[in-house]
Chain A
Amino acid sequence: MFSLRNCGLWVAASLTKKRLTLARFSGDSAAPLATKFDVIVIGGGHAGTEAAAAAARCGSRTLLLTHRVDTIGQMSCNPSFGGIGKGHLMREVDALDGLCSRICDQSGVHYKVLNRRKGPAVWGLRAQIDRKLYKQNMQKEILNTPLLTVQEGAVEDLILTEPEPEYTGKCRVSGVVLADGSTVHAESVVLTTGTFLRGVIVIGLEMHPAGRLGDQPSIGLAHTLEKLGFVVGRLKTGTPPRIAKESINFSILNKQTPDNPSIPFSFISETVWIKPEDQLPCYLTHTNPKVDEIVLENLHLNSHIKETTRGPRYCPSIESKVLRFPNRLHQVWLEPEGMDSDLIYPQGLSVTLPAELQEKMITCIKGLEKAKMIQPGYGVQYDYLDPRQITPSLETHLVQRLFFAGQINGTTGYEEAAAQGVIAGINASLRVKRKPPFVVSRTEGYIGVLIDDLTTLGTNEPYRMFTSRAEFRLSLRPDNADSRLTFRGYKEVGCVSQQRYERASWMKSSLEEGISVLKSIEFSSSKWKKLIPEASISIGKSLPLRALDVLKYEEVDMKLLATAVPAPLKKYITCRELAERLKIEDWGC
């Protein structure tokens, strides 16, 4: 089935401009247009695409319903993926054969691993992503996925039937009703509506109903969910203004260059699509007292800030920063939006002041004195459903076979959404096959931490992943996500391709072989000291040291060892990842 992936018919490019309300695009060129599917996924954002692709990978005939096909894979906030904790989630999504890591390896313009000096358990893979490329590559992937059909349409209601007596829940979902009154039936439904549930956009004192700038919100669906008895809460988030690139004076700002070499997100990417020297830099500037002044003088023009709706503590708007931490300078990263984009994204400058005041504020920042604002920053307020109403498989307690993933569960971030999407897609498919759910525990992955926190504690602010949330941080590392999840995904679920499984198996056996070789090499400490003078080996020890013991010294890596003892060890440094993992993992005694 996986060899079919590239055989589908790609029709999106020619059709997206036409705004057909019920256009259908199928990756399965031979499939007739059906009115019954195994799994329906509502929403084409980061949770929806992962959910739909995962369900299809599991072998379920899947329908992805979205308002507009041309917004599939849209990055509606920051032009970056990954980070500390978030990068961990992406590696786990990738280990289950999810999409976002691979797409990022094809779409990035600036790859950088954060926390390099703080220990491998907290390295944060991160990249600036070209919005346009990401969307293109994601749409190409989605529209070419076998068993996956994509259709445009707004879902107004759910079709509900009698519950299955052997499960809990007061009814069962069996399909959806679209805005034009037509119905589509399915065995399970995954809801990934993001900020579209009664979404409202706020700029200054103006409020417009919208899920994202320029897109209609879902009102009918919000009513349906409330009528069913779901507890609904409200959250807010915001996005900064966009600035014209050519109007910024970069020459007086701090420049940040990407890593060389670039580390790919995906276990199956050998490298990323773009050379380090072709990648784009980011620039750093800071706010100053004038910014504070403008914010404080105009609080009365700012309804988003006045509302009591909870916003995140960790991704605050510039208004919250000024109010909570007065008299400080705040960083503003100027990030490229894409290879050929004229826009710059000022990370850290999320703001909901009236547009003309935003422009005034921007121009008092160093380097932005002559900056032209292309699009104002805005706030979004939206409904979420208390995630304690879902099980660890992301199925709702109230309605059988209905799954929620992404911002609807109170999370924020592309990566958090993608992680839930994969799990919801897998479980929606397993549910159809009447198989037990696939649950990742807190001890196995950040995905488990995320879902366990949500389903047992709920949340009252947009939930973002941090490594400090993970009790087992030392073992849940980005480097070993495949050994934690790929084998489970392959054997228990069937959501992992043969190619990936073989790669993970090769890595596993190479590591085991490498360890036994490292254990077999034994020299006296004085000989080691001579071979590797850089290492702080104390030569007083009488017992011989194994290469594995020497590798535990902080300053020793596989490269040094292989230079010292080339004969058996040389082959283990040909693969960067293998050499690094031999060094990182604790292999016991």
Chain B
Amino acid sequence: MWRGLWTLVARAARGPRSPRPCTRQGSGVPVPGSGTTIFALSSGHGRCGIAVIRTSGPASGHALRSLTAPRDLPPARSACLRLLSHPRSGEPLDRALVLWFPGPQSFTGEDCAEFHVHGGPAVVSGVLQALGSVPGLRPAEAGEFTRRAFAHGKLSLTEVEGLADLIHAETEAQRRQALRQLDGELGHLCHGWAGTLTKALAHVEAYIDFGEDDNLEEGVLEQGGSCKGWGHLVSQPPEAPSLPPLCSLPSTANSEVRELQLALGAHLRDARRGQRLRSGAHVVVAGPPNAGKSSLVNLLSRKPVSIVSPEPGTTRDVLETPVDLAGFPALLSDTAGLREGAGPVEQEGVRRARERLEQADLILAVLDASDLASPSSRNFLDTVVAPAGAGSPNGNSQRLLLVLNKSDLLPPGGPDPSPNLRPHLLLSCLTGEGLDGLLEALRKELAEVCGDPSTGPPLLTRARHQHHLQGCLDALGHYTQTKDLALAAEALRLARGHLARITGGGGTEEILDIIFRDFCVGK
């Protein structure tokens, strides 16, 4: 029991479980994550013939052998054709080129393996899942390959200088991806679980820190959550309470953990609960009402996705359509025109539109070229276009293309662009003029979005979710088995750390806030 938990500790200690890294003052801190083996799809997730999946870490050789069994490791640094099959089921996955890079002569300095597989999503997903089932392997965190390369001295000084930016950009991309995924049922579930777990942990921590020294009584962990004070006794004779309920506790950690275990177990077993995921860059069309957003969506998708009318506020919900934009798979979303003061249904549409903007890989901002001075246009330029365009080089800003529609309404001399208008494209959805220019601009932007491997296909994000949910469940198992309360609390901390990788949060203060809200602690 002890040993099992310690392995768990060692495994989870690799990541920033607490928001504040503990390496700040330390010297001789071990290389982060050394010991574990990571895998990720290293090529972009655009349409491609070949996808490259890479592993790094001591178990790379084992992983390579597991997927190519019964064959041995190929010679170092030379490409070999192998049949990949699932290590558990033996089901064939793909015929692929594999490469074996024993450390330290590899990109990261650790043992690395590369799988060059066919680019179809089913193949990629199959190989990723197969790798995830090899013991000791887990999906890579943002920037982790680069970080390992840096830690092993594989990057030069100039490359190191770009490291922070790179990790930041990759993290940002993953954040947007995660945000999209969490926008559904799974997100609600995860947040709910995280809340339950945080509360259970807070109660265990309270019991440890204040159970004896201060005023908490036993029962935080077990027994029915009797939250009776003695309010009802006030009117009765004071000798009535023989054994007074002391600061009684609103809930019980153990029963909450058991419920959580059941819920997580059921979720992990039930394949249908998997998030409905769509591949492709998320392109969101936004703008003030009646700028011609829906016309643009219909033009780009070459089919009547949205109803178009001269009446502002026609589109009220978010309409999604998968399209092929300039050769890249994209999910095109038409949104309600952004304006205040409309009816409740339209306001909800506006809220959803803003939410969708948050999650966009690329925003197509559409304005009426003949109506740039109107309040709604100005407002849109200030609140959406300007922040996205602020263009800080650290990758914090979103990609945005500014499209001025209805160029056919302009006088022949061109528009009277406001002096501070950022670079824009002129387009007429009516005549089709300017469409080629727009497609070319889209091609450039999407090439960059899809070429960034870290955004990862949703499949990889799903693999990560599953990995952390399983980790959470494993840790909860240790909680229920352990009698030593400090070890049990450690298991809960690990479990919560895993959920925090999906939902964020998880600092000590969050725990303390719950403790002091729920309990009257004090001498």
Contact = CB atoms under 8 A, between A and B. Distances in A.
B520 interface: yes
A286 B246 contact: yes
B2 A119 contact: no
Contacts of A315: 522-523
Given A314-B521, A314-B522, A329-B244, A471 B18 contact: yes
A78 B9 CA distance: 38
A83 B213 contact: yes
Given A121-B486, A321-B522, A114 B213 contact: yes
Interface in A438-452: 439, 441-444, 448, 452
Given A78-B523, A288-B238, A327-B231, A474 B9 contact: yes
B486 A124 contact: no
Most A Cβ at <10 Å: residue of B9, B209, B233, B238 = B209
B4 to A, nearest CB: 11
B22 interface: yes
Contact of A469 (B231, B234, B508): B508
Q: For chain A, what secondary structure do more than half of its interface residues adopt (helix, strand, loop), or is it mixed?
A: loop
A524 interface: no
Nearest to B236: A289
Contact of A325 (B6, B20, B483, B520): B520
Interface string A143-162: 00000000000000000000
B234 A327 contact: yes
A83 B26 CA distance: 27
A297 interface: no
Given A84-B208, A474-B490, A466 B512 contact: yes
Contacts, number: 151
B212 interface: yes
B17 A471 contact: yes
B498 to A, nearest CB: 15
A330 B215 contact: yes
Nearest to A329: B244
A115 interface: yes
B25 A392 contact: yes
Most chain B C-beta atoms within 10 Å of own C-beta, residue among A324, A328, A441, A588: A328
Contacts of B516: 313-314
Contact of B523 (A333, A466, A471, A472): A333
A456 to B, nearest CB: 7
Contact of B209 (A327, A329, A331, A466): A466
A331 B521 contact: no
A491 interface: no
Contact of A471 (B22, B207, B483): B22
A552 interface: yes
A316 interface: yes
A466 B516 CA distance: 13
Given A119-B487, A321-B520, A552 B2 contact: yes
Contacts of B247: 325, 328-330
Interface string A81-99: 0011100000000000000
Contact of B212 (A84, A289, A290, A552): A84
Interface string B502-523: 0000001001100110001111
Question: Which of A118, A289, A457 counts the most B-chain CB atoms under 10 A from its CB?
Answer: A118
B205 interface: yes
B251 to A, nearest CB: 16
Contacts of B515: 468
B213 A468 contact: no
B451 to A, nearest CB: 38
Contacts of B32: none
A84 B26 CA distance: 25
Nearest to A335: B523
B26 A85 contact: no
A335 to B, nearest CB: 10
B32 to A, nearest CB: 13
Nearest to A470: B508
Contacts of A328: 229-230, 245-248, 520
Contacts of A448: 25
A552 B4 CA distance: 12
Nearest to A472: B22
Nearest to A293: B234
Contacts of B512: 466, 468-469
Contact of A468 (B20, B209, B248, B483): B209
Nearest to B216: A331
B485 A118 contact: yes
Contacts of A166: none
A78 B213 CA distance: 13
A583 to B, nearest CB: 11
Contacts of B233: 289
A494 to B, nearest CB: 20
B25 A348 contact: no
Nearest to B482: A119
Interface string B17-40: 110101011100000000000000
B272 interface: no
Contacts of B487: 119, 121, 474
A209 to B, nearest CB: 27
A316 B522 contact: yes
Nearest to A292: B234
A329 B2 contact: no
Contacts of B20: 452, 456-457
Contacts of A321: 520, 522
Which one of A78, A119, A124 has the highest number of Cβ atoms from chain B below 10 Å of its Cβ? A119
B497 to A, nearest CB: 10
B107 interface: no
A348 B238 contact: no
B484 interface: yes
A315 B210 CA distance: 11
A491 B487 CA distance: 33
A442 B9 contact: no
Nearest to A320: B522
A118 B208 contact: yes
A281 interface: no
A126 B213 contact: yes
Given A114-B213, A442-B25, 12 more contacts: A84-B210, A115-B211, A119-B484, A120-B484, A120-B486, A288-B238, A314-B210, A325-B520, A328-B248, A330-B246, A452-B24, A471-B508
24 contacts: A118-B207, A118-B485, A119-B484, A286-B244, A286-B246, A289-B238, A314-B522, A316-B520, A321-B520, A325-B520, A326-B229, A327-B229, A327-B231, A331-B215, A348-B215, A442-B22, A442-B25, A443-B26, A444-B26, A467-B205, A471-B18, A474-B487, A586-B6, A588-B6
7 smallest CB-CB distances across A and B, nearest first, come from A119-B486, A119-B484, A327-B231, A121-B486, A327-B229, A325-B520, A118-B485
